[in-house]
């Protein structure tokens, strides 16, 4: 039996000796070597250090939510299942490169007849055989297919990492948004109380004959507007919780939520973006695109190899006897071996067309890889432009809110003294309300920018 299988072992050693894959060369990045500098961009550290999400999102409550999501989120479970499927496909491809051994057995029953033709018994025979077969991969077709599946496995792994980075960023952003909406809810509550006091004062002035009815109607308008905003903010904050529960994949503990944006935003660390655009090569989507390109490159080699003859070795090692009692005697043992070479003589040019198809798919994969780099560069440059100006915007919003608050205080005092009409007070209230909301929005945008930089720079670096 060992001698019978020796040709298959020798053929296995010969397999994969040749590869018709094109030489792989990573395409040059179609973006500048550095990110934009100068106004509105600001200089950062010359290189981006390794970091994890814990280095960026330092609040223990947020870290707890992220840890829960990494265990429970359904998108991550789908991505993990995709990796398991791709890993199994690699094992299937590798198995095709090894000799295959099938077993078969059978029993046959034939009647025994006497001289006069009567059936007076039966003869029971049997057979058992091992059927080894093997495709000699002289031109590397099977090896190329295995390399393609290995590259797709690595691409799927990178895609899973991309899902993880996106999930962490989404949770951080939702957590910050909840904190901002809590501030906006507090602003709406304060505005309702202020509007109620203004409406009561105006009604008293109307009863005293020192204010027209239009003042009361205007005061009631601003009061009802504030009440409507309050109701909307309550709904928004509830929706923030619903989103967090979806991302985490389980109910969340209310104690893990930040009560104010000041508290939440102060725990988010700013990232140095680095000036070298090569840091973008760490992004999961770019890594995935490159492995898709490598897979397409290997598929070309497999298509080229398919143009050459395929050589198969087959054999038979078995036992056969017309009676089961003699099945394992020495005379029942038999073996044979054969080689078979096949090549299509005419296929209407399908083989060469398949090579052209794979080359076109490789060209598309090159374009996809380059596009992924260009998109990454644009997203990072946009985030850096925001980072360079958000501080100035927040500072301006803070000064504007200070001026609007002081204006409102003075106008209300003048209205109580009967110096200014109520319309002036109404405008001042609206301006102060809008200025305070803009300040919250600016501070939220500043915190979100750190989340965006975490995403666009590829997430965890180690």
Cα-Cα-Cα-Cα dihedral sign, residues 241, 242, 244, 248: positive
Task: Give 268's DSSP letter.
Answer: B
Residue 337 · residue 317 · CB < 8 Å? no
Cα–Cα dist 435/445, whole Å: 15
Q: Is the pLDDT of residue 247 over 90?
A: yes
For residue 446, name the pLDDT band (cuts at 50, 70, 90).
very high
Compute the average pLDDT of residues 263-272.
Answer: 86
What secondary structure does DSSP assign to 127-155, as a single string? EEEEEEEEEE-TT-HHHHHHHHHHHHHHH
Does residue 381 have a pLDDT over 70? Answer: yes
Coil/strand/helix, residue 321: strand
Task: Check whether 121 has a pLDDT greater than 80.
Answer: no
Q: What confidence tier does 178 reach under pLDDT thresholds 50, 70, 90? A: very high
Would the pLDDT of 110 be above 70? no
Task: Look at residues 226, 231, 233, 227 and name the one whose alpha carbon lies nearest to residue 179.
Answer: 233
Asked whether the beta carbons of 456 and 214 are under 8 A apart, the reply is: no
Sheet holding 310-321, edge to edge: 100-113, 119-136, 310-321, 333-342
Q: Compute the radius of gyration of the chain from its Cα atoms.
A: 38
Secondary structure (DSSP) of 23-83: PP-PPPPSS-SB---STT-----SSPPP--HHHHB--HHHHHHHHHHHHH-HHHHHHHHHH
Rounded CA separation 186/370 (Å)? 47
The answer to which of 149-153, 177-181, 348-352 has the lowest mean pLDDT is 348-352
Upstream peptide bond of 40 is cis (omega within 30 degrees of 0) = yes
Cα–Cα distance, 211 to 420 (Å, whole number)? 11
Please state the rounded mean pLDDT for residues 45-71: 84
Per-residue pLDDT at 167: 94
The HSE-up count of residue 49 (CA atoms within 13 Å, CB side) is: 10
Query: Stretch 378-399: mean pLDDT, rounded?
Result: 90
| Separation in Å, CA 241 to CA 57, 135, 229, 231, 258 | 19, 59, 19, 16, 12
How does residue 94 score in pLDDT terms, banded at 50, 70 and 90?
Answer: confident
Predicted confidence at residue 335, as pLDDT, reads: 56
Average pLDDT over residues 396-412: 93
CA 424 – CA 417 distance, rounded (Å): 13
**Between 50 and 394, residue with greater pLDDT:** 394
The CATH classification number of 13-98+138-309+356-456 equals 1.20.1600.10
Q: What is the pLDDT of residue 403?
A: 95
């Amino acid at each position: 039996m060992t001698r019978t299988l020796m040709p298959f072992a020798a053929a296995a050693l010969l397999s994969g000796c040749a590869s018709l894959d094109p030489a792989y060369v990573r395409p040059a990045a179609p973006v500048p070597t550095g990110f934009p500098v100068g106004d509105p961009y600001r200089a950062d550290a010359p290189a981006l250090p390794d970091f994890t999400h814990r280095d960026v999102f330092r609040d223990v409550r947020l870290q707890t939510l992220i840890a829960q999501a990494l265990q429970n989120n359904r998108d991550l479970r789908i991505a993990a299942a995709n990796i398991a499927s791709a890993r199994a496909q690699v094992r299937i491809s590798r198995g095709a490169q090894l000799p295959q051994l099938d077993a078969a057995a059978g029993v046959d029953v034939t009647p025994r007849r006497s001289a006069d033709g009567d059936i007076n018994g039966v003869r029971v025979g049997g057979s058992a055989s091992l059927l080894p077969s093997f495709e000699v991969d002289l031109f590397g077709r099977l090896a190329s297919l295995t390399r393609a599946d290995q590259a797709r496995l690595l691409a799927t792994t990178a895609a899973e990492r991309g899902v993880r980075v996106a999930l962490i960023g989404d949770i951080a952003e939702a957590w910050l948004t909840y904190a901002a909406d809590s501030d906006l809810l507090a602003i709406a509550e304060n505005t309702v109380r202020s509007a109620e006091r203004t409406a009561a004062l105006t009604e008293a002035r109307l009863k005293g004959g020192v204010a027209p009815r239009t003042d009361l109607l205007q005061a009631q308008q601003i009061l009802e507007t504030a009440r409507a905003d309050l109701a909307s903010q309550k709904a928004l904050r509830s929706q923030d919780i619903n989103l967090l529960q979806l991302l985490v994949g389980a109910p969340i503990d209310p104690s893990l939520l930040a009560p104010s944006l000041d508290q939440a935003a102060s725990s988010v660390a700013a990232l140095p973006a680095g000036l070298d655009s090569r840091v973008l090569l760490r992004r999961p989507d770019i890594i995935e695109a490159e492995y898709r390109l490598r897979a397409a490159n290997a598929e070309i080699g497999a298509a080229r190899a398919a143009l050459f003859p395929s050589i198969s070795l087959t054999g038979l090692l078995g036992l056969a006897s017309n009676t089961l009692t003699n099945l394992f005697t020495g005379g029942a043992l038999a073996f044979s071996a054969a080689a078979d070479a096949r090549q299509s003589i005419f296929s209407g040019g399908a083989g060469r067309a398949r090579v052209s198809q794979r080359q076109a798919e490789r060209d598309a994969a090159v374009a996809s890889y380059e596009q992924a780099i260009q998109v990454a560069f644009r997203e990072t440059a946009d985030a850096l432009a925001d980072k360079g100006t958000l501080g100035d915007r927040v500072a301006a919003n803070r000064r504007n809110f200070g001026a609007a608050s002081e204006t409102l205080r003075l106008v209300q005092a003048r209205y109580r003294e009967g110096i200014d009409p109520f319309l002036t007070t109404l405008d001042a209230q609206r301006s102060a309300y809008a200025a305070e909301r803009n300040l919250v929005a600016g501070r939220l945008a500043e915190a979100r920018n750190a989340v965006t930089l975490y995403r666009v720079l590829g997430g965890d670096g180690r």
